[in-house]
Chain A
Amino acid sequence: MAIAKAERLMNLALCLMNTRRPLSKRELRSSVEAYREITSEDAFNRMFERDKDDLRELGLVIETVDALDGETGYVARRDRNRLPEIALDAEEAAALSLAAKVWQQARLAGAASGALQKLRAAGVPFEESGYESAEGHSVIEPRIPAHEPAFEPLMLAARDRRPVSFDYRKSNAVRPEPRHVEPWALECWRGHWYLAGWDRERAARRVFRLSRITGRIRSRGGEFTAEVPDHVDVRQTVASWAGEGATATARIRLRRGAGYPLRAKAVETMPAPGDRAAEWDELEIPYGHGLDDWLVEFGPDVVVLAPGELRDDVVDRLRAVARG
């Protein structure tokens, strides 16, 4: 039976961490049983490269040293791999164990519990009992979803600064279009993930919604060509799509008792003039992107008074529904 991968990785890690001098590939092959079982040189080389990458993903710093006899040597020096002293009090440790539970994405959930295990092994005092039940703490359970298949490959590409390409369907496009992007940062807002980056064809900064990416994320060779800004604010762009940060206002008539969220956003509310006062109010509300979509939802309980373009948009939409 083939030796399990975890056992092989563990043996390689222990060898690399406990040697005083760099070990050659040949020496490592003879020290790790799983490698000795492989007869093909090529297969061994491929496996060894993958294993080194896996250990590096786990945080191990593996140095490659050119040894005198022309062979490359490998070593994971203790001083470079040690977790520096970290003194967390019980409150801080409790805060981190709450944070470690928030990921609903397999890779980051695994990484978060791996981090806690390392800290615990280093002596950080984590309580075993539920933090949630402890007196004096907020009882909140935060969760970060990341169900979009594009999330993990984009996270890794942004981390390693690798350009990518993918097919993207804009919100009202009939077909997806290929995009070449240098991924800068990912941000989750209102439960959805967005990518900010440099769009190579458009030679401009763009924000993409991950759920609109169709198909695979493909890695492109080469480096980033555009400078990565120090601070990437995805949220501001997305909030403006959502119609927030509006500077203009609109006037509407709203049936009394209806449209609470419109009332909550209103800058001014008063009873409608004349005979309508008994049943209707007039409101002044912020007018940003998407307001027409939203007002139509209220059907006969909202009448747009101004501006004319918003009124026309809403009437247009209502006509489409009335036609069926």
Chain B
Amino acid sequence: MSNAIDQTRRMLSLVTYLRERPGAHVSDVARAFGVTEAELIGDLNVLPMCGTSFRGGDLLDIDTDGERIWWHNVDDVAQPLRLAADEATALLVAARAVATLPGLRDSDRQALLRACAKLEAAAGEAAGASARLSVTFESEGSVFADVDRAIAERRRLWIRYYSPARDELTEREVDPIRLFAVGHTYFEAWCRSSEDRRMFRLDRVAEIKLLDAPADPPRIEPRDLSAGLVQPAGDDPEVVVEVGPGGRWVAEYYPHDSAEELPDGGLRITLRTPDPGSLRRLALRLGRDGRIVSPQALADSARAAAEQALAAYGEE
């Protein structure tokens, strides 16, 4: 359900929009305003209760039969309204951020920059606050351009990809599905070697080639990006890590089931991963700032790796 502020904002634009479009279709207007038909009908139920003066009897005579919308006493009650500071900020900050993405097609970048300039001019002083927010997306420009092209042309890719969990490069053929940026830039693809969907971070692609073969990914439900990129499964093995104050960053970087405060300012973090061995790197990195509580095999393998590394420095 939309809140009262968003609904008011929408209804103010709606009266300007409907004025020009007698008999508009509910489905078209709902799509244009980015709401469901039910939400739009909700707005259309409120508008007849609104007017310039309740006593004057000049309420908006807007009604709908569920398919089309009619306004019987069309009036110039609202004009296209100036942008609010938050509205200008939301669009400008996002457009500037996207425009800086390395690898973006030049025509898209130019269109974004032109739109920003026009929007700044139209927003006037409301545009000022947008200078207080900024967003940088990171991307590997040349890899981006190849993935972008492969998706547009529906072609298969060959990549050499670095997996930090195993510290190794593997070669694979993948059918790319979507390209997205959340801080870093990633692409999702159907990996033909593992026969599963996989997420690839662009800065971990060591080499990429566009193949002539057409991409043929199975139809899969797109992931909801707002739920986070890593979505561990409930039956993945559990790992428990205890960190001191210096290791609290683990809770910021690793999705976890729980993080209990410890009396020394540290945390006891429980997380799930399909491959606990991949956390050996974390155990080594934590050093004196934390330790693996369980599984024991993971704690042992970190200890063994540290001993082996120390041997190279002449320590046993």
Contacts and interface: CB of A to CB of B under 8 A. Distances in A.
Interface of A: 3-7, 9-11, 13-15, 17-19, 30-33, 36, 54-55, 57-61, 78, 80-88, 91-96, 98-100, 102-104, 107-118, 120-123, 126, 128, 135-145, 155, 158-159, 169, 171-175, 184-192, 211, 234-235, 257-261, 264, 293-294, 296-303, 311, 315-322, 324
A6 B11 contact: yes
B84 A14 contact: no
A57 B285 CA distance: 47
Contacts of B28: 128
Interface stretch (B66-74, B91-99, B192-200, B208-216): B91-99
Interface in B101-152: 101, 103-105, 107-108, 111-112, 114-115, 118-119, 121-122, 124, 126, 129, 131-138, 144, 148, 151-152
Interface residues of B, number: 125
A118 B118 contact: no
Contacts of A6: 4, 7-8, 11, 46
Interface in B42-57: 46-47, 49-55
A108 B105 contact: no
B183 A99 contact: no
7 contacts: A11-B54, A102-B94, A104-B225, A118-B87, A128-B32, A141-B179, A321-B284
Contact of B129 (A58, A102, A159, A260): A159
Nearest to B96: A99
Kindly list the 5 A-B residue pairs having the minimum CB-CB distance in the complex, ordered from nearest. Answer: A191-B183, A59-B84, A174-B265, A122-B80, A317-B287
Given A96-B91, A112-B94, A141-B181, A83 B83 contact: yes
Contacts of B233: none
Interface in B246-286: 246, 248-249, 252, 264-265, 280-286
A138 B112 CA distance: 12
Contacts of B172: none
B169 interface: yes
Interface-centre pick from B164, B285, B309 (highest chain A CB count, 10 A): B309
A169 B249 CA distance: 11
Nearest to A233: B134
A91 B106 CA distance: 12
Contacts of A30: 55
Contacts of A321: 283-284, 286-287, 302-303, 305-306
A19 to B, nearest CB: 8
A58 B7 CA distance: 11
Given A144-B97, A171-B246, A299 B181 contact: no
A306 to B, nearest CB: 13
B21 to A, nearest CB: 10
